[in-house]
Amino acid sequence: MSSVTLFSGTFCNTDRVVGLLEQAGGFRVVTDSDIVRRASTRSGIAESKLIRAFQAHTSVFNSFTHEKERYIAELRLAVAETLGEDQLLLEGFASHLVDPAIAHVLRVCLIADTPARLATARADLELGDKEALKILRRDEEDCTAWVEATRRTKDPWDAKLYDILIPTDKIGAEGAVAMIEENLGKAVVRATDRSRAAVEDSLLAARVDVALAEHGHSMAVRASGGAVRVIINRNVLLLRRLEDELQEIASAVVGVESVTTEVGEGFHQADVYRRYDFEAPSRVLLVDDEREFVQTLSERLMMRDVGSAVAYDGESALMMVEEDEPEVMILDLKMPGIDGIEVLRRVKQTRPEIEVIILTGHGTDSDRQQCMELGAFAYLQKPVDIDVLSESLRKANEKARANIGGRGE
């Protein structure tokens, strides 16, 4: 039996359409929450982390950690596993993770114009236009970022992404359901041996994708039968070495009979691909109001494969602690506004697993004592030898990850 994927804009009567389809067609509804739960159970990654893949905001550390890419790989595998069942109604962001080669899935998008969506928000949720617009714009940003990451387009409402695009403000929920049922009756979306084979191919490709992600790689993967193609869409300096590594990882996945690699369209772009090194510090926040110093320090750490981000004041640093979750912080004491000691105090109160290295040129013995009592990992004086700082950073990173592991994250 055929299945349906349903992607929609905010305030487009999606719940009504889903409810009617569930009643009329006997579909089993699978939501983003279901996919996240399945991916979390299999991978051990916290659901709260996997959910972030759906959000437009990406951690400033993602270029070093490739976390979002790994989360998407895990979610894609969960979707591929689910597609082994019939009569599914896959609703939400995860609908875009269904392989386009699977022909017995009807891809549906529900959309409406802005005035109609605001009217729905007023009637159903009793929201004012200002509040509803704020929600709508935030969700539009998430939708745009999601299809850019998964479908390589910046328009979530691009008709080429779907079999049918339904304006719910024009035909209503009942009309939308009738249109979906009519299209489900067409021969083109009926399950065939070929379309079921495409489900198995997508499952194998997703398993290889996850295996590569677990080794720090983010690649496009295609499968046909047991033959797997890994597509390198980023420039790389040692191509042959990378190809050998990718083939070794992919070949170890159950069901893979052969592996080939090829360069894709993005191979000739300027930036150079680097595998994520799970052992190297990759979530280091540098906090210092001396811009030239901290930028130079960031560059020197990057040369040592350390992923870092920069904040120039205490307030910005505290915001990044909440939004981007650094593992180690290198912190100056003397800054305008919230000073380093207050930043240290607040970090240790709210996120004690973060290790903080004080690096200052103006501290006193009293400052040192106070910082260590507040829980600083180390207290270093400027100018600091980069080898000494790197070693302290390595040890702090090990302790921070042990702290996080102890919390079950």
Report pLDDT digits (tens) over 20-53.
999 887 899 999 999 999 999 999 999 999 999 9
> In this predicted structure, what is the pLDDT of residue 234?
77
Average pLDDT over residues 227-256: 92
Average pLDDT over residues 265-276: 60
Domain ranges (residues) in the chain: 3-189, 215-268, 284-406
Annotation: CATH topology of 284-406: Rossmann fold (3.40.50)
Average pLDDT over residues 56-78: 92
> What is the C-alpha separation between 264 and 282, in angstroms, rounded?
27
C-alpha triplet 271, 68, 307: angle, nearest 5°: 55
pLDDT of 407 strictly over 60: no
Tell how strand 3-8 and strand 105-111 pair up: parallel
Q: Which residue type occupies 406?
A: G
pLDDT of 163 strictly over 90: yes
Instruction: Supply the pTM of this predicted model.
Output: 0.86
Could you check whether 3-189 and 284-406 share the same CATH topology?
A: yes
Give percent of the chain above pLDDT 90: 80
Instruction: List, for residues 185-205, the tens digit of each pLDDT value.
Output: 999 999 999 999 999 999 999
Q: Which residue type occupies 296?
A: T
Instruction: List, for residues 106-152, the tens digit of each pLDDT value.
Output: 999 999 999 999 999 998 888 899 999 999 999 999 999 999 999 98
CATH architecture designation of domain 3-189: 3-Layer(aba) Sandwich (3.40)
CA 246 to chain CA centroid, nearest Å: 22
Query: 384-409: buried (b, 16+ CB within 10 Å) or exposed (e) per residue?
Result: beeeebbebbbebbeebbebeeeeee
* Structure token digits, residue 148: 């850019």
pLDDT of 375 strictly over 60: yes
User: DSSP letter at 405?
Assistant: H
326: Cβ–Cβ under 8 A, 6 or more apart, which residues? Answer: 61, 283, 284, 285, 309, 320, 354
Is-contact 258 284, C-beta < 8 A? no
Judge if the upstream peptide bond of residue 167 is cis by omega within 30 degrees of 0: no
> In this predicted structure, what is the pLDDT of residue 271?
57
Q: How many residues does the chain have?
A: 409
Conformational region of residue 216, where left means phi above 0, alpha means psi within -120 to 50, and beta covers everything else: left
Tell how strand 378-381 and strand 3-8 pair up: unpaired
> In this predicted structure, what is the pLDDT of residue 369?
96
